[in-house]
Structure formats: structure tokens, C-alpha cells
Structure 1
Amino acid sequence: MKIAVYPGSFDPITNGHLDIIKRGTKIFDKVIVAILVNVDKKGLFSVEERKELILKATKDIEGIEVIDFDGLLVDLLKEKEINVILKGLRNSTDFEYENTMDKINKKLNKDVETIFMISESEKSYISSSAVKQICRFGGEIDGMVPDSIKDDIEKKMRCK
């Protein structure tokens, strides 16, 4: 079985993330969406809330598992006996960052491979940070987040 781990903070999940998940399930038998508990970031949504939003947004997609983790990604991969990381790239800035992370992960575990997926151009501007900023100031987030969770995000942020 071909399995990949798609790590991220997903605070909240966006249509860009969802696109990578959907496309990933066409290549891999299973995609594990791994919510990173980032000690350097204070999330808007709790890990449990993020998990619920992801499950709600992906309920019709087969081959998905949603988990959370803290610590090193390579340790999670070792624990799950998986050696493939799936990452989405929106732009050259993402590439620079993810290329460095790939080198670090290979230093920690030479068997780890990172697969980069280029975002579709109409989704390449979407980020969780942009969604939160737009919503915070009363802007419209239609098309940026899955319809199934848009109300949840707006309610949490008191956007509307």
C-alpha cells in the first residue's frame, strides 16, 4: 500500500489544502493528514477543532486518515512506517522553505522522500493566514475554504 503523510497546521484547512489532499489520493492509496502541533504558533482553532473541520471537509474523499502529532515529522513517519511526505507548493517562497525542510528530513532519515505538488493557479494565493486576515476584517472567504466549513470558520472568528 502506497501511503503519504501530508503535514501542516491546517489552521484552518483551505481549498488549497483540500486540492492537494484530493490529488494526493489519486496517487497514493492513503493520505494521512497530519496536523502539526506547532509550539511556535498560537493557533486560532484547537487541534481538535482543526481535526473536526478537516474530517467535515473531506467526508466524501476516500483514502484519508486525520491525525495530530507534535515533535519531529520524521519520528511520526518512523512510527507509522511511512517514508513519503506530501507537500503543496504555491510559489517560489514555499519551494525554498520546503526544499530546506526536505534536506533536514533527509539528514534525520535518509529514507524519507518528499513529493511536491504544485498548487493549481486559481488556488495558489490561498493560505490559512490570508483566510483569517480577510475574515477578521469582514471580507468574503467564499472559494477560499470548503463550503462545508465556511460557516464554522466565520462563527469562530465572528466574521459575519
Structure 2
Amino acid sequence: MRHCIYPGTFDPITYGHMDVLQRAAKLFDRVTVAVAQNAGKHPLFSAEERMEMVLPNVARFPNVSVTIFTGLLVEFAMQQNADAIIRGLRALSDFEFEFNMALMNRHLQPKIETIFVMPNEQFSYTSSTLVKQVAAYGGDVKHFVPPNVREALHRTYSAQRE
């Protein structure tokens, strides 16, 4: 069985993430969505909250599971017996960072391949950061995130405005 890891902060998960995941689920027998517990990024939601937002949105994929991870991604991938890491590339601006990370991961663990997947062009400008900025100012994010995520953003930012 071919197994890949789809890592990310997913703060929050967007339709762009879901598009990459759908592509990965077609390419691999098993996909593990790995929610990074990375305090250095100062996420809006805890890792547990992010995982809870991801879970209902991956239920339609029988070959997808979700977990939280800490530490080096390639070590996690080896522990999970993964063959590859899937990364989404939205634009050229993503490439340099992702390319350098892939080379470092290959240096640390040559057995794990990194595969870059381009999301549908309608998601090429969508990022979790932009979605949070729009939501923080009360903008409608329904075209960018699943309903449960939109509700979580609304609750969080409404509470902050009170």
C-alpha cells in the first residue's frame, strides 16, 4: 500500500487544502492528514481544534485519516511508514520555500519522496492567512472554507470583538 503524509498547519483548513487532499487521495492508497502542532506559527486555533475542523471534511474519503504531529516531519513520516509527503503549490511564491524544505527532508531521510501538487486555479490565491484576515473584519469566507470552519471563525472573531 502506498501511503503519503499531507502535513500542514491547517489554521484553518480551506477548500484549497481540500482540493490538494482530494488529488492525494486519488494517487495514494492511504493519506494521513498531519496537523502540525507548531507554536512558532502562533495559530488561531489549537491543534485539537484544527483537527476537529478537518475531520468532518475528510469523512467522504475512506482512505484518509487525520492526526496531530510534533517534531520533524520526516521522522513522523518514517514512524507512519509513509512513502511520500504531499505539498500543495499555489503560486511561484510557494515554490522556493517548499523546494528548500523538500531538499532538507530528502537530506534527512532519502527514503521519503516529496510530491508537489497544484490545486485547482480557483484556489491559487486562497490561504489560511487571507481567510483569517477577511473573517477578522467580518467578511464572508463561505467560498474559501467549509461551513464548520466558517462557523468556527465567526465564533472566534465575534468573541474577540466583544
State the TM-score, normalizing by the size of structure 1.
0.95
Identity of aligned pairs, percent?
Answer: 38
Matching of residues 118-157 of structure 1 within 5 Å? 118-157=118-157
Aligned residues of 2:3 and 2:81 also touching (Cα < 8 A): no
Once residues 24 and 62 of structure 1 are traced to their aligned partners in structure 2, the CA distance between those partners, rounded to angstroms, is 13
Q: Indicate the SS of the match to 1:115.
A: strand
Once residues 95 and 80 of structure 1 are traced to their aligned partners in structure 2, the CA distance between those partners, rounded to angstroms, is 26
Residue of structure 1 equivalent to 2:50:
50
Once residues 136 and 128 of structure 1 are traced to their aligned partners in structure 2, the CA distance between those partners, rounded to angstroms, is 12
Residue of structure 2 equivalent to 1:14:
14
Matching of residues 9-158 of structure 1 within 5 Å? 9-158=9-158
Once residues 141 and 36 of structure 2 are traced to their aligned partners in structure 1, the CA distance between those partners, rounded to angstroms, is 24
The 4+ residue runs of structure 1 with deviation greater than 4 A are none
Tell me, which stretches of 5 or more residues in structure 2 are unaligned?
none
1:108 deviates by 0.3
Partner AA of 2:100 in structure 1: T
1:60 deviates by 1.9
Once residues 45 and 11 of structure 2 are traced to their aligned partners in structure 1, the CA distance between those partners, rounded to angstroms, is 6
Aligned residues of 2:12 and 2:149 also touching (Cα < 8 A): no
Supply the RMSD in Å over aligned alpha carbons: 1.5
Number of equivalences: 160
Aligned residues of 1:57 and 1:149 also touching (Cα < 8 A): no
- Map Cα deviations across residues 29-50 of structure 1 (whole Å, 9 max, x no partner): 1110001111311111111100
Once residues 63 and 148 of structure 1 are traced to their aligned partners in structure 2, the CA distance between those partners, rounded to angstroms, is 22
- Map Cα deviations across residues 110-149 of structure 1 (whole Å, 9 max, x no partner): 1111110012110111100001000001111011001343
